[in-house]
Structure 1
């Protein structure tokens, strides 16, 4: 199976609405105007999207017998079919029996098929086993999922499986389909086929927000916004802001975010509109913050994430930026602005022009920053002990920043 292979995953329930077909016959209407007349939506979807293979999932009590009877010619594999009918009626269909009838299904449908039993999903462990079965059945490539049939709770599990396959297995979920029999037009008789791909986009947004809150990567939102029509040049601002922030070029990072922010002043399209407020709230600080506030905010963020090297570097740089502002120096030139501001502040500390707590906080922050950033053992026994202690390091780093940056 290659990355270009498309697999359709469909569920089989145990409905007995029709003695011959199980499910009620329906005319399923697709977006492109085509229709498929079938009692089992998965078969109509198979003809509509023409995947390379079919994975059919059902429990030991699903109506495997009714489905197989639609495919078998008169007298074909009669003993096997009778065994399947008996097993299905007693809820004891097993894997060997499904393997035996698989060639019959493949001959009828003309595509490779995989018939698999799934758990009833009565508890968390059973539901996890369903996800595992789906993942094992679709190791790579593209996947389309049909949520129409099966127990009602299987639709929720099937939807979750789409996100699981995409996020954990790296598959491309090409579509989530639902044959909405309850929405059948009483006059025309057509049953709409509903695309539930928007659920995947919502999951992607939720995942992006969660990951952003953990790592601060603005680029996570770029593909989601671009998919909903945000201009590429505006989306690129977020990607570049993430790059500049990671390389500690905060001035350019802030400029890129400020260039992007007007996008959020007008309503977004698609699913992005649902998350517009949440995104705006996470970026609003840029409009008010100067460089020192930006550095201090990031230092606090990295401290919470356990990235002590970045926390110490940015915390120290926030102090120097503040001292540049006090003296009306520029921010960017190290030799002409930042180093003179650092030297002047240290001279004030030595002259006891600042409280002892500020002085202690500054020297601790500077020593921690030098030891962490350069990777060399500090000359101070206390600093070496702090860096070697996973409990003390975040506490002392936090205390130092509070003392000198309050």
Structure 2
């Protein structure tokens, strides 16, 4: 189901219609003259549900009188006209008039009373009202009327519904009464704001999870080929399964897309995205793993940070000893066993020895869920702050 959410303000430019009547031009050239932009937009979009939000002092009476036929729900209409000037309109009165509004508009109309949004509880109440009225499906928002701060809350509602309510935002609209061409007011789509919010949200989710796939639908919406955005999904899988070779190969296939300006909101954020993929530019496997270890440490993913930190150290030992870091028995196992023999022989400084045993014990504890035998290696596991500092110190001494 497609729902349109619109606001009803306190316009008094015209005693009969409230708002000043104007001719609006929609994208595509269609024009419509109306005093209530939300109704014209509903006619243009043809949603199945129209949600009208207004305060106790909004011009509900004028709105209803413009839609009602003579004699229809006369008692409720008179009660509404009396309540409106004193800002005493309540939800019960609006509910009595809902059938009238639905008949007149030709679709389900939900008139909903909202507070003025003067403080945080009232602002939350508005968001909850919108969420209750639009539980599923697609939703469009009209931000034209009402107090300016209520329009801002409407925009926040759109973001909230898409992220929390799992709804699809179809569009965000604004009837720009003062922006005219030849005396006709222009109708603007503000979907660009929604696209920017989606990118901000995706960056936050990536920084929390490290999953490149969150960017795929946003890039696809701005015209990046599907086979290239699919590389991000596949790279995330390979990285999470410790297959950095294939993860890097997929990202290198995608990265040329960031070498030219991208359209839409993607162009605003492509530099930020390139920064998050920069680890693939490292010279070798050890450097790739080192960069990822620090990235996961920064986002508080201590398990992956410890894993990549340990693997980066072993890879570096392999490369320095002429061993193949892609081989376990003849490469990685030989490298760290040889290093431990050198530690026992006193060939490395104390700080490096301490960092090595700390990293190895923390990595094993996090991977296997078993506390280290020695108290000094158990202590960092007592708090996030201690664990962060212990891993960071080990990385600096062993990885640079």
**TM-score greater than 0.5 by the shorter chain:** yes
Number of the residue aligned with 1:234:
228
Runs of at least 4 residues off by over 6 Å: none
CA shift, 1:138, in A, is 0.9
Counterpart CA distance in 1 for 2:74 and 2:185 is: 34
Number of the residue aligned with 1:218:
212
Counterpart CA distance in 1 for 2:219 and 2:153 is: 27
Structure 1 window deviating more from structure 2 (46-55 vs 57-66): it is 46-55
Counterpart CA distance in 2 for 1:49 and 1:77 is: 28
Counterpart CA distance in 2 for 1:46 and 1:248 is: 51
Counterpart CA distance in 1 for 2:320 and 2:237 is: 29
Q: How does 1:375-394 map to 2 (within 5 A)?
A: 375-387=369-381, 392-394=386-388
Report the TM-score when normalising by structure 2: 0.94
Distance 1:52 1:389, change over 3 A: closer
- 1:67-87 residue CA offsets vs partner (Å, 9 max, x unmatched): 111111123232322221111
| Residue 122, structure 1, aligned to residue 118, structure 2 | yes
- 1:63-108 residue CA offsets vs partner (Å, 9 max, x unmatched): 1011111111123232322221111111111111111111211121
| Residue 141, structure 1, aligned to residue 141, structure 2 | no
Match of 1:55 among 51, 54, 64: 51
Counterpart CA distance in 2 for 1:93 and 1:379 is: 70
Match of 1:369 among 355, 363, 371: 363
Number of the residue aligned with 2:106:
110
Match of 2:87 among 71, 88, 91: 91
Asked whether the equivalents of residues 359 and 404 of structure 1 are also in contact (C-alpha less than 8 Å), the reply is: no
- 1:177-211 residue CA offsets vs partner (Å, 9 max, x unmatched): 111111222x3x43222111111101001111222
Asked whether the equivalents of residues 293 and 318 of structure 1 are also in contact (C-alpha less than 8 Å), the reply is: yes
Counterpart CA distance in 1 for 2:391 and 2:138 is: 47
Number of the residue aligned with 2:15:
19
Structure 2: gaps of 5 or more residues: none
Counterpart CA distance in 2 for 1:370 and 1:144 is: 51
Distance 1:304 1:288, change over 3 A: closer
Q: What RMSD in Å do the two structures reach over aligned CA positions?
A: 1.8
Asked whether the equivalents of residues 7 and 54 of structure 1 are also in contact (C-alpha less than 8 Å), the reply is: yes
CA shift, 1:36, in A, is 2.4
Q: How does 1:74-89 map to 2 (within 5 A)?
A: 74-89=70-85
CA shift, 1:114, in A, is 1.1
CA shift, 1:350, in A, is 1.8
Asked whether the equivalents of residues 179 and 194 of structure 1 are also in contact (C-alpha less than 8 Å), the reply is: yes
Number of the residue aligned with 2:266:
272
Counterpart CA distance in 2 for 1:64 and 1:226 is: 43
Number of the residue aligned with 1:8:
4
Structure 1: gaps of 5 or more residues: none
Counterpart CA distance in 2 for 1:274 and 1:149 is: 30
Distance 1:393 1:76, change over 3 A: closer
CA shift, 1:227, in A, is 0.6
Report the TM-score when normalising by structure 1: 0.93
Number of the residue aligned with 1:281:
275
Number of the residue aligned with 1:73:
69
Counterpart CA distance in 1 for 2:261 and 2:388 is: 41
CA shift, 1:389, in A, is 5.3
